[in-house]
Amino acid sequence: MSTRSTIGMTLTNEMIVCIYCYHDGYPDHVGQILAKYYDTEEKIKDLMKGGHLEWIESKLSLCDYTHRGSYPLPENCCPVTRRSLGDFIQKIREENHDYGYIYRDGKWHVYNPNE
């Protein structure tokens, strides 16, 4: 069974753009990779451009995106936008994701929708 997560970043209007990551979404893996290697808005935007992930790695070139490199991105693999933090948490809860990560105010925040 996989540990599913959603990775997002807050936009200037407080909306959240996010992508899904299928494998290893727990804080000791996805959380640490995000904190160590995706620590600027520019790097996060580059990560998001690729759409939904099978898994994340320290370098974009090593990340496995669910669409396997097709371009343009299939509609079901594109980043999505949530209206607010509450909407983000509600969606990860509804979709049974184990963790949600949001980059805002210059740092990563982790959410466990089951707590």
The reported pTM is 0.92
Secondary structure of residue 47 in the 3-state scheme: helix
Preceding omega of 72 cis (within 30 degrees of 0): yes
Element (H, E) at 48: helix 41-49
Six-digit token pair at 7?
């990775």
The stretch 72-88 carries a mean pLDDT of: 87
The pLDDT assigned to 34 comes to 98
Distance CA 65, CA 61 (A): 10
d(CA 98, CA 113): 7
Question: What was the pLDDT predicted at 65?
Answer: 86
